[in-house]
């Protein structure tokens, strides 16, 4: 690892500027203090989203794409995606462009966080979400278009399936190859990180040839790891099992201690990530990473929240913890641990932004910038 660690960053839209301003000095301080000043971060700003559109006329300039390809790692703030029209999600596009097929979203309770659970300390699992297939491929046709009519006609002609003519149509592809590689990734992640259970989350009872196949192919991959994986709870091996998706939502609330790594198709993983974030205070504390074989992009799991932009109120914890994941990924685990400890110490002391403070009686919220300064102070003291 060179003494100067180069990291690409995208500030993002909406509240992206606020969380970047509150976070980057924390990450810099963590690297400096963890390695006695022998290492430091050099940032390279890249443009994407609205800022890029205003500057260059492109939502995702070629310069940004090439820089990420060259440097292999980046961290980004949230990018706005219009609902029901406009351009498709840039977040999804980046994952598909760089083949970032593994979405990693840890869900771990930190002392001091609000939670609806009686025993929130039991929440400590990781959602591994396939990131490039499923409905997120964006293969769909608007109701009333020639393409939609052609698809409806073809379905009726070839399969006898009759669908109302005023329907929009979407396609849900889940491939054997895509499933095998995410299952392999999840199993090897579990082995490396000494996790104890992998649970495939699917709706295979209804969607038998997509999500049912995801379950089937995942089990086939698990069978290739007989020394590490078991299906009956053999001591010393990772237990491999599965749950129907709707049941899994209940299980995460009632029995979180029984779950460890949740292996999900794309849509299930997205839903479950947000729902489980509610168990530990909300999306403001939920980090994320999108990882491929060569490139990784780290990001907070929340959106751009434009109505809060520039108000210095948003919670930067998700960005900070995503930054800690990045530091660990590039071989700086001591710096990553400093960030995680400092965030937890700050929250434990009752210092938190409005999204968390409003859930706890007697807590006065602090600004986004003030929270960042407090975490930086804790990093320096650790």
- 227 as an active site residue: the answer is no
- 51 as an active site residue: the answer is no
Q: Which one, of 24, 29, 76, 28, lies nearest residue 48 by Cα?
A: 76
The strand pairing partners of 41, in sequence order, are 5
The strand pairing partners of 112, in sequence order, are none
Burial label for 364, CB within 10 Å (0-12, 13-18, 19+), is exposed
Task: List the catalytic residue out of 270, 338, 354, 376.
Answer: 270
**In angstroms, what CA-CA distances link 151 with 85, 103, 136, 141?**
21, 31, 19, 9
- 246 as an active site residue: the answer is yes
- 124 as an active site residue: the answer is no
Distance CA 338, CA 120 (A): 23
Task: List the catalytic residue out of 109, 136, 259, 354.
Answer: 136
Q: Which one, of 270, 273, 261, 173, lies nearest residue 222 by Cα?
A: 261
Distance CA 81, CA 122 (A): 34
**In angstroms, what CA-CA distances link 84 with 63, 80, 87, 142, 301?**
29, 13, 9, 11, 20
Task: List the catalytic residue out of 156, 208, 246, 311.
Answer: 246
Distance CA 148, CA 170 (A): 9
Task: List the catalytic residue out of 51, 76, 172, 203.
Answer: 203
Residue given tokens 């979407």 in the structure block: 170
Residue given tokens 């203090």 in the structure block: 33
Residue given tokens 């709870």 in the structure block: 233
Three-state DSSP class for 85? coil
Q: Which residues are part of the catalytic machinery? A: 136, 203, 246, 270
């Amino acid at each position: 690892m060179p003494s100067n660690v180069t990291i690409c960053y995208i500030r993002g839209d909406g509240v992206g500027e606020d969380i970047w301003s509150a976070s980057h000095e924390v990450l810099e301080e963590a690297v400096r203090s963890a390695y006695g000043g022998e290492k430091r971060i050099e940032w390279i700003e890249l443009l994407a989203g609205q800022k890029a559109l205003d500057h260059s006329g492109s939502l995702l300039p070629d310069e940004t794409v090439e820089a990420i390809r060259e440097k292999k790692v980046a961290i980004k703030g949230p990018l706005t995606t219009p609902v029901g029209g406009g351009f498709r999600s840039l977040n999804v596009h980046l994952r598909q462009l760089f083949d970032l097929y593994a979405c990693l979203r840890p869900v771990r309770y930190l002392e001091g966080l609000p939670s609806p659970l009686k025993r929130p300390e039991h929440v400590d699992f990781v959602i591994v979400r396939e990131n490039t297939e499923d409905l997120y491929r964006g293969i769909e046709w608007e109701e009333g278009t020639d393409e939609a009519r052609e698809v409806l006609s073809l379905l009726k002609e070839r399969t006898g399936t009759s669908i109302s003519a005023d329907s929009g149509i979407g396609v849900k592809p889940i491939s054997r190859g895509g499933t095998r590689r995410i299952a392999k990734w999840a199993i090897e992640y579990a082995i490396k990180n000494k996790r104890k259970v992998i649970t495939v989350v699917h709706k295979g009872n209804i969607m038998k040839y997509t999500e049912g196949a995801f379950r089937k192919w995942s089990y086939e991959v698990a069978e290739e790891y007989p020394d590490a994986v078991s299906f009956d709870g053999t001591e010393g091996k990772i237990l491999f099992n599965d749950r129907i998706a709707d049941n899994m939502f209940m299980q995460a609330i009632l029995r979180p201690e029984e779950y460890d790594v949740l292996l999900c198709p794309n849509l299930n993983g997205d839903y479950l990530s947000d729902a489980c974030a509610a168990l530990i205070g909300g999306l403001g504390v939920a980090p994320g990473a999108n990882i491929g074989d060569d490139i990784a992009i780290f990001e907070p799991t929340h959106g751009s929240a434009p109505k809060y932009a520039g108000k210095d109120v948003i919670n930067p914890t998700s960005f900070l913890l995503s930054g800690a994941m990045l530091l660990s990924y590039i071989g700086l685990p001591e710096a990553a641990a400093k960030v995680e400890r400092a965030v937890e110490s700050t929250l434990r002391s009752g210092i938190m932004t409005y999204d968390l403070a409003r859930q706890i009686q007697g807590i006065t919220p602090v600004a986004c910038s003030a929270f960042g300064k407090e975490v930086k102070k804790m990093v320096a003291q650790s």
